[in-house]
Amino acid sequence: MPSIAAYPYDYELPTDSKLALVIIDMQRDFLEYGGFGDALGNDVTQLQSIVPTVKKLLETFRSLNLPVIHTIEAHTADLSDCPPSKLNRGKGGLKIGDQGAMGRILIAGEDGNNIISELTPLDNEIVIIKPGKGAFCRTDLESILQKENITHLLFTGVTTEVCVQTTMREANDRGYECLIIEDGTASYFPEFKTSTIEMLCAQGGIIGWSANSKQVIEALVPQAMAIA
């Protein structure tokens, strides 16, 4: 495979299909009206804007039979896996476990905890249920990546400065070559997204690289423009 035209320099793709797409927390509670994010006063259209891009990348990876990893931030119904430092965060609004318009907030199995319909995982795709911000925290993600011989990770999803950044930093510490897809990630606060990408790619790519979806697809698919 060729390299991806990226920042701060080209991202070299592996030659033996050890590349995976990571889609972070594209859940109804974060992206839809009536969900947790909306209830907190956030503009959910900021996150909705990346859905077409993530869907196109997902379809590209599926067409090439490359691994796809979805993550869902979720807790057990009894909240035994949610530490007080997280559970008690916030004042005067909904908290984890409270009843929202789409069920209990961030509880596994509730309607709001599901991935949006446009990006529903296939049966053969990996789904990581994570109780923390990072996808490596108290999950079996690392062992799955090792088993599949994956060395390179492309990151999409929400939000850029929280769960996406945390997971990318965790992956970098574990030796994975990480690239964040600029138009495939979003924040409720656009300035946070911009700053996060700058931090990740500073000092010659201290955490990793960034590129847009067009650059990625063109590198992966010779006739990229035929994909609509």
- Contact between 114 and 37 (Cβ < 8 Å): no
For residue 82, give the H/E element and its range.
none
**177 is written with which tokens?**
């070559």
- Contact between 1 and 211 (Cβ < 8 Å): no
The CA distances from residue 77 to 25, 82, 98, 103, 164, in Å, are: 19, 10, 11, 11, 24
The catalytic residue positions are: 25, 130, 163
Side-chain-facing half-sphere of 132: CA atoms under 13 Å: 14
- Contact between 19 and 219 (Cβ < 8 Å): no
